[in-house]
Amino acid sequence: MSEAKERILQLLPADGWDAMFEDEDNVAVVCFALVESTDEAGAVSSAVRPMAGIGNAIEFCDDYPNYQGLTRTDDDWDEEDDEEDDEGGEDDEEE
């Protein structure tokens, strides 16, 4: 068997997102990483994981046991507008 490995495939900007930590202040997310993981048995999976400046390094937020999730910081962002955009796209296709 081989050891578990992680590889970052792509970095995406994370403007307007904060990571929430239990008993800590929110931390601005620097980017989202598309990560490919291979476990000891050789199974491959992928996930999008948030990264933030924690201490003197940029680290995966979800590596910390007190990580609670993400929240939007943009006052201009409206979830209802985003859902309406998603619903309207299907009718625009030509047959």
Q: Please report the pLDDT score of residue 80 as a whole number.
A: 61
Q: Please report the pLDDT score of residue 78 as a whole number.
A: 62
Q: Please report the pLDDT score of residue 10 as a whole number.
A: 98
* Tokens read off for 21: 């930590």
Q: Please report the pLDDT score of residue 9 as a whole number.
A: 97
pTM for the model stands at 0.73
Averaged pLDDT, groups of 10, the chain, 95 residues long = 88 96 94 96 96 93 96 73 56 49
Sign of the dihedral through C-alpha 5, 9, 13, 14: negative
